[in-house]
Each structure stands twice: as C-alpha cells, then as structure tokens.
Chains A and B, each alone.
Chain A
Amino acid sequence: MTALLELRNVSRSFGGVKAVRNVSLTLEPGQIVGLIGPNGAGKSTLVNVITGVHPATSGEILHKGEPIQWLKPYQISARGIARTFQVVQPFPSMTVVQNVMAGAMFAAGIPSMSEARRIAMEHLAFTGLADKADQPANQLTLANRKRLELAKSLAMNPHILMLDEVNAGLNAAEINQALDLIRAIAARGISIVIIEHLLKVVTGLCSRIIVLHHGELIADDPTAEVIRDPRVIEAYLGSRFAERQMVRHD
C-alpha cells in the first residue's frame, strides 16, 4: 500500500548551505508526527519544500504515489496538503470569515461564495472564532490569529496538515487549548505533522517523532524510544547531558 506522503532523499540547498540533507520518510493516514530539532535544523525548510514554497534541490516527494516535488504551492494545496506558518500569515484587513473562505474557495475548490462562507463559519465554530467572524483579521490577539490560521487551513480540506511552531508566543493556558484543538483535528482523520520546540507538547501529542539536526534526519521512531535516544539528547541538550543520561541508564 502506498504511503500517504513519501520523501526520498530530499535535499534543499540555499547557495552553498544544505538546509535539508537527504531526508527520507513516510507518512501514513491518521498519524500525529512530531518534527523536532534545534534551531536551524531545517524543520521549516522541510515543510517549505513539501508545500512547494522552495523546490527540492534533489530527491523526490510522492503524494499517494504521485510525484509532487515540482508543483507550485497552490497546486499542492489543492491536493490536500496544508500548513500553518510560524509567523502567522493572515490577510490583514479582510475579515476573519473572509480569511477562512479563501481556503475553502481556492484550495478546496468550492465554487459558490455563499457555500464557501457557510463552510467557513463551520470551521470558525470548530476553532472557537465564530463570534469574531466579521472582525478584521489584524485586530485579533495572537492566540486567536493562530486559531484563524488553523481554521483557514482546515477550510482547505486537507488530509495532511503541517503545523509550524503553532505554540510560539502562547501562554500555558493557550497552549493547552491549542493541543485540544489539534487532537480534535486528528480525530477527524487528518494526518498531522507538528514542528515543535516544547518537548512536553510533542511527547503528549505524538506517537512518533522525527528528529532533524543540521538538515539530517537523525531519528524517526516511536516517541518513547526517541526521548531516550542519546543522539537526540545530545543534539538538543548537549553532550554532557547525554553522557549523564547514558550513565544513568547503564
């Protein structure tokens, strides 16, 4: 059975710098996968490559068995692969509902504007923004802007959703709400890839974790194994901590 999404030896260079090196992985339906790694590890770049923002310098990306590495972002969105941005990217002076309608109208291909609006309102209700539907997007708080980004992505009718640091800038309560929302999205059958810094979020949410370091994939295992992997610990926390861990688990 072909994987939902498959990357084979994908690399991406900027000038002389290899931001992503030979990454290979597969994604199956219904998974919540964490994508972690230190700053500059290439996580966002990898998402950019998958969604067509940057073309892969080499390697293949297959979606349901079909190559997509040459497609433009709008084509990839239409195929059902959506993503949120680390720094949210709304349409600032358009209203909240119009922002979400854009996702429905274009990526999801809903032909009628009134139908798109109806669907948008549903997604707004799901993400708790229904009462703000007619406000301009730039008047929302940061937490609500993140929800808007989520709602917009959901309106695109994706079966793969990639979340890039969706918790950056949120306080503890807001993070918990975000996690509940993400679980609810996963319960709808959408595969999720979540880029995160906070290990507790990742361990609480994901059954599988992919670790990037200097653009390379250094681990791709079930959560319990990854958090004990000495290479991962070293990459995140430094070699002394890794040594201490090794001693302890001796």
Chain B
Amino acid sequence: MTKSQFALVVIGAAIILALPMVGGNYTLRLCTIMLMYATLAMAWNFIGGFAGYPSFGIAAFFGLGAYAGAVVQARGVPVVAAWAFAAVVGSVFAYVLGLILLRLRGHAFAIATLVIAEVLREITNGLTDLTGGGMGLNLPFFGWGPDALIRFFFYAMFALAAITLAATYLVAHSRLGFGLHCIKQNEDAADIVGINTTLYKIIAFTLSGGFAAAAGALYASWTGYIEPADVYDVLFSIKPILMVLIGGMGTVLGPCLGAVVFLVLDEIVWRNFLQLHTGILGLLIVILILFLPAGVLSFDWRMLFKKKVSAT
C-alpha cells in the first residue's frame, strides 16, 4: 500500500471512530449500514473481484449467518460468540458449496449461486420450529438504552469491516491473491503454471461466505427481528456487486469506496422518493451500469486510491 493510501485509511478510520462523539443517531445508523455493506462488498470481492467468478449468492450467506447467529442468540449464547459461530457456519457452508459449484463458470455459476439463496430461503421458511418460519425470529432484547445500542453496533460493524479490510489486504498481497488474479485472467493457464486452482477458488469462496455470514449475524442482532424474505433478499446479492463495480474490482479499497458512493446515492433516493424507491433504485442501477466502462472505473483521481494486486 502506498503512503497516501495508508494515510487515507488511517484518516478514514479516525473520522469514523470519532463520529459517535459528533454525529447524531441518524448519522451513526447510516454509517453502520455503510460499514455493513462495505463488509459485504469486500466479501464479494474475494470471489468476484479477485477470482473473477460472478457470484450472485452473497444473500445466501448473509441470510444463513443472520439465522445462525439469531438462533443461537435466542438460546442464550452471548452476542459476540453468536457472531463468531455464524461466521464459522457461513465458512463451512461456503466451503462445501464451493466444492460443488466452483466447477461451473460464467452464467452457470451466476445462476447457481443466485438460486442458492432462494433455496435457503424456502428451507428456512419450512423449518418453523427452529427459525420461526415465515413469522420471523425475535432476538433477545439487550436491555440497554437506544444511544448505547446504536454506539455498540456501530463499533461492532466497524470492527467487522476493519477485520475484513485487513483480510482483503493480506490476500491481495499474498501468493493467494496473485494466484487468484491469474485464475481470473486465464484459468487454464493458471492450472498449467502450477496453481492449484480448485484450492484457491475454494479459499476465496469460503472467505466470501464467512464474512458475509458474520455481517448477517450482526445485522440480525442489530435489528432484533428477522424473517426469511428480509435477510435472503436478492438485493443483498446485487448491491455489493454494484459497489465493487463502482469502486474497482479486485482492489483493496475499491469495495469500501463503492459502498460509500452507492449508499450516499441510495440514501438520497430513499429520502426523496419513498413510494418510487425501488423504481428509482432500479433507475440508479441502470444508469450506473450504463456508465461504468467494462470492469473498472478509470477516472484518474481514483488511481490514488486503487491498489491492484502487484508485485512488490
């Protein structure tokens, strides 16, 4: 990471950490959502950005993590342990799923991952005893005041995002990152050049599932009530991809930047067009896609922030 990028990260972190002292609850809530989506975008970036596999399944892991965390929390497990449990569940599920699905490429992979979320949603709906089914699941109330709660989840989401960012950085600068980049460029050549492509892809997919699941668990604890249609919503699969497309595929800071940009736009839309919200969101998506050059944005000022996988 160059000095200017590192400085940016430090300044950004400082600003975020200082927010609870200067910002109101609304700002904090907004930032918590941003941090959550930043985590999801980074999670997707492992498999979609680094390895180049178009996964549309983040919602599946998000929802799975939400339910895994919520279910054990409802049975008395302490909050942070529940989140860690959810991360493990998400990772294991991603590992197993990866063994099956990572043989597919392109469209087939995209559809298969898209469909997984739907399947999980139906199964969750059906397991009424465990998950409350369509009636949803309530999480135990903390008993804290609203201000304390907001701050707690703000810092928790920040911690998760920071961990995910650290992991992204480590992957980007490791043999794993280099290998994934090769796989993305030309998987057959990667095979021949000595990369164990199956292993690398599965690691990327597992990382993606684990972090997304952790975010889901935090979300569940934060909102206090979840239901399948909510946490398995396909938008949780689509928005992170858009964020990475905006910010820069396969970069370290790109997903975070993309999350900020997208959510600012989204929030403006939300506040102004309530009934038309989904329609305008759709319009926003269409405009973003039409004006994104194939792959990565190439505005010069972003060059300051982008750090592609490179040899140092």
Residues of A within 8 A of B (CB): 51, 53, 72-74, 77-78, 82-83, 85, 89-95, 97-98, 101-103, 105-109, 111, 113-114, 116-117, 152, 156
A91-B189, A102-B178, A106-B179 known; A74 and B311 CB under 8 Å?
no
A91-B182, A94-B182 known; A113 and B192 CB under 8 Å?
no
CB pairs A–B below 8 angstroms (17 shown) = A53-B191, A72-B191, A72-B196, A74-B194, A85-B189, A89-B189, A89-B192, A90-B189, A91-B181, A93-B185, A102-B190, A103-B194, A105-B179, A106-B194, A107-B194, A111-B175, A117-B311
When the two chains form their complex, are residues B311 and A102 in contact, meaning their CB atoms are under 8 A apart?
no
A40 smallest CB distance to B (angstroms) = 21
| Inter-chain contact total with CB atoms closer than 8 Å | 81
A92-B186, A102-B182 known; A83 and B312 CB under 8 Å?
no
Contacts of B185 in A (CB 8 A): 91-94
When the two chains form their complex, are residues A113 and B182 in contact, meaning their CB atoms are under 8 A apart?
no
Residue B195 at the A interface, CB < 8 A? yes
Contacts of B312 in A (CB 8 A): 113-114
When the two chains form their complex, are residues A51 and B192 in contact, meaning their CB atoms are under 8 A apart?
yes
When the two chains form their complex, are residues A98 and B311 in contact, meaning their CB atoms are under 8 A apart?
yes
Chain B residue with Cβ nearest A149: B189
Residue B124 at the A interface, CB < 8 A? no
Residue B197 at the A interface, CB < 8 A? yes
Contacts of B15 in A (CB 8 A): none
A94-B181, A105-B178, A114-B312 known; A73 and B186 CB under 8 Å?
no
When the two chains form their complex, are residues A77 and B192 in contact, meaning their CB atoms are under 8 A apart?
yes
Residues of B within 8 A of A (CB): 175, 178-179, 181-182, 185-186, 188-197, 310-312
A89-B186, A114-B312 known; A103 and B175 CB under 8 Å?
no
Contacts of A93 in B (CB 8 A): 185
Q: Which of A103, A106, A116 has the most CB of B within 10 A?
A: A106
When the two chains form their complex, are residues A102 and B186 in contact, meaning their CB atoms are under 8 A apart?
no
B171 smallest CB distance to A (angstroms) = 14
Q: Which of B179, B194, B310, B311 has the most CB of A within 10 A?
A: B194
When the two chains form their complex, are residues A106 and B181 in contact, meaning their CB atoms are under 8 A apart?
no
Chain A residue with Cβ nearest B181: A94
A180 smallest CB distance to B (angstroms) = 25
Contacts of A111 in B (CB 8 A): 175
Contacts of B188 in A (CB 8 A): 53, 89
Q: Which residue of A72, A102, A113 contacts B193 across the interface (Cβ within 8 Å)?
A: A102
Contacts of B193 in A (CB 8 A): 74, 77, 102-103, 106-107, 152, 156
When the two chains form their complex, are residues A78 and B182 in contact, meaning their CB atoms are under 8 A apart?
no
Chain B residue with Cβ nearest A83: B192
Beyond A91-B186, A102-B178, A105-B179, 19 extra complex contacts between A and B, CB < 8 Å:
A53-B188, A72-B191, A74-B191, A89-B188, A89-B192, A90-B186, A91-B189, A91-B190, A94-B182, A97-B311, A101-B178, A102-B193, A102-B194, A102-B195, A105-B175, A105-B178, A106-B194, A117-B311, A156-B193
Contacts of A102 in B (CB 8 A): 178-179, 182, 190, 193-195
CA of A97 to CA of B196, assembled, Å: 21
Chain B residue with Cβ nearest A51: B192
6 tightest A-B CB contacts, nearest first: A107-B194, A106-B194, A91-B185, A77-B194, A89-B189, A73-B191
Contacts of B196 in A (CB 8 A): 72, 74
Contacts of B182 in A (CB 8 A): 91, 94, 102
A91-B182, A113-B311 known; A106 and B195 CB under 8 Å?
yes
Chain B residue with Cβ nearest A91: B185
CA of A103 to CA of B193, assembled, Å: 5
A156 smallest CB distance to B (angstroms) = 6
Q: Which residue of A53, A95, A108, A113 contacts B178 across the interface (Cβ within 8 Å)?
A: A113
A75 smallest CB distance to B (angstroms) = 8
CA of A107 to CA of B190, assembled, Å: 10
CA of A22 to CA of B191, assembled, Å: 26
Contacts of A89 in B (CB 8 A): 186, 188-189, 192
A36 smallest CB distance to B (angstroms) = 23
Contacts of A83 in B (CB 8 A): 192
Chain B residue with Cβ nearest A111: B175
Q: Which of B179, B189, B193, B310 has the most CB of A within 10 A?
A: B193
CA of A241 to CA of B312, assembled, Å: 59
